[in-house]
Chain A
Amino acid sequence: MKTLKSLGLGFFLAVFILVCSGIMFWQAISMGYYSEYGPGPGFLPLWVNGLLIILAVMYLIISLIKSDIPLSKVFPKGEGFINVLVSMGAPILFLISIPYTGFVVASMITLFFLFLRGFKWYWSLGYSVGLSIILFMIFSTLLRVPVPVNVLGW
């Protein structure tokens, strides 16, 4: 058996799938397995999630006693690691900031951090401002997508 520190990616994914399928299995029980007309809304979800629980447990056991991918090998080291974190964090930042700042500002902040990984700060600032305005014009003005805006209308 492994210690908590030595648990790998497979273990965490198995737990994630187990929790998801467990919740859906539990909910499916109360949905009605069979009605007078035929199978009910809980019929297939019950079978599918039941099977998924069994397979997730098998995967969990394999991850614990046999092979697993160590967490240290999941992410690259050094610059690559920061690149991945910024790429994952930037869209989350966009999602959090857009209701408060509107599209153009949220997009500028997000793009600035992304461009900063490869360019000097002043270039990054220029590119992010320019690209945000171009995207706003294309999507909001040309394609009429109602992107969230601030009190100033952008």
Chain B
Amino acid sequence: MEAFSYLLQGFETALTWQNLLFCGIGVMFGMFVGVLPGLGPAAGTALLLPLTFTLEPVTAIIMLAGIYYGSMYGGTITSVLINTPGEASSVITCLDGYPLAKKGRAGAVLGIAAIGSFIGGIVSITGLVLMGPIIARQALKFGPPEYFALLVLGLTLLVALMGASLLKGLIGALFGLSLAFVGQDPSSGFIRFNFGETYLTNGIEFITMAMGLFGLSELFFNAEKSFREKAEEPPKVKGLLPNKDEWGPSMKAIGRGSILGFFLGLIPGLNSVIPTILSYSLEKKLSKDPSRFGKGAMEGVAGPETANNAYSGGALIPLFTLGIPTSPTIAILLGAFIMHGLTPGPTLFQTNPTVVWGIVASMFIGNAILLIMNWPLAGMWAKITMVPFKVLLPIILMVTILGTFSIRNSLFDVGVMIFFGILGYFLKKAGFPLAPIILTFVLGSLLETTLIQSLTMFEGEFSKFFTRPISGTILSIAIISILFSIISSIRGKRISTGDVEM
């Protein structure tokens, strides 16, 4: 009950005209990012982050969170109408969404996807309301060894699951971690690896690196296509509701997708694609006639679309309660918290309840706005795909440059961003996953601080991590997961996911 009274206070914060306006801008930009193929939620969030400097912290995070969950809605429209997923988690929607659209049922598909996304989003935010404070209270009992173990587990799961090659994932993770060492040592204040450059005294700016690795490299990738290609005209959207006999199976799929997506969101290292694949397989398995899947089954859209939105809410729990991001977009949100002087983690619920509950409440409002924008206005959004890349590239590139410059009013940062953009392009070409680089970079300082504090406590004996039940168990799981991944790699049966959410 306590959580709900806080939530009501949160609505008070979220319903101010300024927060409502920026929530609307956030979800609209999220929709825009989701609809546009080639610009993912991580790049979109990074792009707008510098523009939030002048805003109140709560307003800024409300807007940036809106981009994150808004993009999950947007990707659906292009998947259904022109068979082109706007972002990775909507790939599976093409399988049944597009065949249904070809049969003239685009309106019904977009309707059920919007309803599913809304329910999935609301279920996961309710989960956040109920579970967030409980997890945060438990996490307050954690000492540096437990925190260190949790960070190691998160990163090993990420490396174990991300990308086709374990070696490349490990190199990426360690490379990101070593970049985090640049600047002042968090414990002693010693300046490290700045190579005499004063701009590097405070380290490499996180947003600069994220904009380069995710935003700029993605633009270079998209530039490979011909600029003269004309976009496909999306079909007209007619009818907004499914048939009577489709409601029952679709609602069951939505229910299953909500629960599946929410719980998968809590696991570090997963991404929004996994819940959609699992939900699709589950629906196909439970269906009376699995042969319909791939030809136009409504449940094949309802389940995965719900799961990816439920995932995005669930993934915020580790960020809010432990300060641990589970995906690149969440890492950028973490960067936003830090940039605005907030520290996500167990104390956030106590020290900044207005901010936390304001953001949570805004997500209910944002999801309602998205439902309206997706359902009756889907046809209008689909037209955005008609904006040619030859117009978008120069605008996005220049806004990215100006956004990066505005962080510290430094041309050096712009140079760093260009460097990481070009490096990111080549790393992607060579099959390196970029998510481990950014996540180890953002967690590097916390990882080092907790390790040093723990080792000081243990008088230098690393084995003492295993004498504490929680840190010992978590570190053992981390070791098992990485060993399992090594064995799977050697046997050639490695289970991995692509580098998505870019």
A residues with a Cβ closer than 8 A to B are 9-10, 13, 17, 20-21, 24, 27-28, 31-32, 34-35, 37-45, 48-49, 51-52, 55-56, 58-59, 62, 69, 74, 76, 79-80, 83-84, 86-88, 90-92, 94-95, 98-99, 107, 110-111, 114-115, 117-119, 127-128, 131, 135, 139, 143, 145-148
Contact = CB atoms under 8 A, between A and B. Distances in A.
B452 A135 contact: no
A114 B411 CA distance: 20
Interface of B: 51, 54, 167-168, 170-171, 174-175, 177-178, 181, 185, 187-188, 190, 192-193, 216, 219-220, 223-228, 388-391, 393-395, 397-399, 401-402, 405-406, 409, 411, 414-415, 418, 421-422, 425-427, 429-432, 447-448, 451-452, 455-456, 460
Contacts of A148: 411
Contacts of A59: 167-168, 171
Contacts of A131: 394-395, 398
B398 A107 contact: yes
Most chain A beta-carbon contacts within 10 A, residue among B170, B188, B227, B399: B227
Most chain A beta-carbon contacts within 10 A, residue among B223, B421, B429, B431: B223
B390 A119 contact: yes
Contact of B223 (A13, A43, A87): A87
Given A13-B427, A27-B193, A48 B394 contact: no
Chain A binding surface, main DSSP class:
helix
B56 to A, nearest CB: 16
Given A45-B178, A52-B174, A111 B394 contact: yes
B395 A145 contact: no
Given A114-B393, A147-B405, 12 more contacts: A31-B190, A41-B192, A44-B452, A55-B171, A55-B174, A59-B171, A83-B225, A83-B226, A84-B224, A86-B223, A107-B398, A118-B388
A87 B411 contact: no
B411 A99 contact: yes
Contacts of B185: 41
Contacts of A115: 390, 394
Contacts of B190: 31-32, 40-41
Contacts of A52: 171, 174-175, 178
Contacts of A42: 192
Contacts of B226: 79-80, 83
A74 B394 CA distance: 23
